[in-house]
């Protein structure tokens, strides 16, 4: 994984917008994040050299052995009213990693790196399984003390609300904008991008907008797609996009020879400017640990699933530990 970069040095000049050919220095404090001030200048200059998210994208393919997780989920669903899936477990594992490793929960705006306030995930669900049915995009915030059960319940409620016939506020706003002539739509979107770069975009416009999330997670495996990377959005602040594929059987080396395993492939696209690859790899390791060994990190599936302080400490240690193959931080 490539080395990721940090915030830019503060320059009292206007040199354009991050969505155009130039960058714009922010004028005020942001409503959704705090400026990261303690990064070295050599990393701070990189957002000026790599000005867009997709030219700063790093692609990472993760392979998870989910045999134990699927057995754990079957037992969990027998004991709980709300049905949990691998998608719920992956989403929950990613939010734990973002809480335990806040250096990954960052974004670049106006040439500077910001630490996001809170962890939020956006995802999309088909209103119905047909070609014509639109996607309902949902954004949810996840607290540091949230349990898996709470997460599953809130995701189910949000998906049901998104699939409901009644339009949501964000749907009404989008419909209103798209009722305007094309040149006005173009002007308003450019204006929103400029206001965001200057930290003038109002907080209420970002609060429910899925383009302003810690992570966008897509379950393409549910519609039969796999082996897919997704681009990052230039508009908004999403710095990580994860695509969950299908579970496939695979023969892999084990202690006693070849073993049949159930492998879930998740492909991540990351904005390399938010932090370095060493930090990102350790952070994704936390999500892998939760997904591959839920008994250890989430507890018995037939009990209320509340991570213990010991489990939190073990995950944090995993994020901070060095393996023999890793060099010491410079």
| Closest of 122, 112, 168, 166 to residue 142, by C-alpha | 122
Q: How far is residue 178's CA from residue 1's CA, in Å, rounded to a whole number?
A: 39
For the chain, the domains span: 33-165+203-320
Q: Which tens digits make up the pLDDT trace of 240-277?
A: 999 999 999 887 777 777 788 899 999 999 999 999 88
Please check whether residue 49 is in contact with residue 108, taking contact to mean a CB–CB distance below 8 angstroms.
no
Residue 117: pLDDT band (50, 70, 90) is very high
Split at pLDDT 50, 70, 90, the class of 308 is low
Q: What is the mean pLDDT of residues 180-203?
A: 89
Distance CA 179, CA 181 (A): 7
* Helix, strand, coil abundance in the chain, percent, nearest 5: 35, 20, 40
* 3-33 pLDDT per residue, tens: 333 333 332 333 333 333 334 445 578 889 9
Tell me what the pLDDT averaged over the chain comes to: 81
Q: Give 33-165+203-320's CATH code, choosing from 3.40.50.720, 3.40.1170.10, 3.40.30.10, 3.30.559.10.
A: 3.30.559.10
**What is the rounded CA–CA span in Å between residue 292 and residue 286?**
10
- Phi then psi for residue 66, to 5 deg, are -110, 20
Backbone conformation region of residue 110, classed left if phi is above 0, alpha if psi is from -120 to 50, else beta? left
Does the pLDDT value for residue 312 go beyond 80? Answer: no
For 60, 63, 119, 241, 269, the CA distances from 231, given in Å and listed in that order, are 12, 20, 21, 7, 7
Q: Sign (positive/negative) of CA torsion 31, 36, 41, 44? A: negative
| Partners of 113 in beta bridges | 108
Count of positions (residues) in the chain: 330
Helix extents (H) in 235-321 = 277-292, 294-298, 309-320
Instruction: Please tell me the predicted confidence (pLDDT) of residue 28.
Output: 72
DSSP string, 143-184: -TT--HHHHHHHHHHHHHHHHSSSPPHHHHHHHHHHTS-HHH
Q: What average pLDDT does this structure show over 75-88?
A: 93
- Residue 317: the pLDDT is 74
pTM assigned to the model? 0.82
Dihedral sign (CA 279, 238, 291, 317): positive
- The pair phi, psi for residue 34, each rounded to 5°, is -120, 140
151-169 per-position pLDDT tens digit: 999 999 988 877 665 666 6
- Beta 215-219 vs 135-142: how paired, if at all? unpaired
Grade residue 59 by pLDDT with cuts at 50, 70 and 90.
Answer: very high
- The first and second tokens of residue 45, run together, are 């200059």
- Specify the pLDDT at position 125: 72
pLDDT at residue 216 tops 50: yes
In contact, 47 and 22? CB cutoff 8 Å:
no
Query: What pLDDT score was predicted for residue 168?
Result: 66
CA distances from 5 to 135, 245, 278, 319 (A): 33, 29, 11, 19
Integer Cα distance of 60 and 51 in angstroms: 21
Reduced to 3 states (helix: H, G, I; strand: E, B; else coil), residue 120 is strand
> In the predicted model, what is the mean pLDDT of residues 292-319?
76
pLDDT band with cut points at 50, 70 and 90 for residue 126: low
Q: Using pLDDT thresholds of 50, 70 and 90, give the confidence band for residue 176.
A: confident
Using a pLDDT cut of 70, give the percent of the chain over it. 80
- Residue 137 in this model has a pLDDT that exceeds 80: yes
């Amino acid at each position: 994984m490539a080395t990721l970069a940090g915030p830019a040095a503060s320059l009292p000049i206007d040199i354009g917008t991050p969505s155009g050919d130039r960058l714009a220095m922010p004028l005020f404090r942001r409503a959704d994040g705090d400026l990261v001030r303690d990064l070295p200048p050599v990393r701070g200059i990189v957002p000026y050299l790599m000005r867009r998210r997709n030219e700063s994208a790093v692609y990472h393919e993760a392979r998870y052995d989910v045999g134990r997780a699927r057995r754990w989920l079957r037992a969990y669903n027998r004991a709980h009213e709300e049905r949990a899936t691998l998608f719920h477990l992956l989403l929950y594992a990613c939010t734990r990693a973002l809480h335990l490793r806040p250096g990954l929960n960052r974004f670049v705006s106006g040439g500077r790196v910001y630490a996001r306030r809170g962890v939020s995930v956006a995802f999309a669900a088909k209103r119905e399984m047909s070609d014509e049915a639109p996607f309902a995009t949902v954004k949810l915030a996840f607290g540091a003390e949230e349990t898996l059960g709470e997460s599953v319940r809130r995701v189910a409620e949000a998906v049901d609300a998104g699939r409901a016939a009644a339009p949501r506020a964000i749907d009404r706003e989008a419909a209103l904008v798209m009722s305007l002539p094309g040149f006005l739509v173009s002007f308003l979107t450019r204006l929103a991008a400029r206001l965001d770069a200057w930290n003038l975009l109002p907080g209420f416009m970002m609060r429910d907008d899925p383009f302003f999330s810690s992570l966008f997670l897509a379950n393409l495996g549910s519609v039969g797609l796999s082996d897919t990377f997704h681009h990052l959005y230039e508009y908004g602040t999403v710095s990580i996009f994860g695509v969950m594929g299908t579970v496939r059987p695979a023969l892999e080396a084990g202690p006693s020879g070849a073993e049949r395993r159930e492998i879930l492939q998740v492909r991540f696209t990351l904005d390399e400017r938010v932090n370095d690859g060493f930090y990102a790899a350790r952070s994704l390791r936390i999500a892998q640990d939760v997904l591959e060994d839920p008994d250890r990190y989430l507890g018995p599936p037939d009990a209320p699933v509340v991570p213990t302080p010991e489990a939190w400490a073990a995950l944090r240690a995993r994020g901070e530990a060095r393996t023999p193959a890793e060099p010491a931080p410079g």
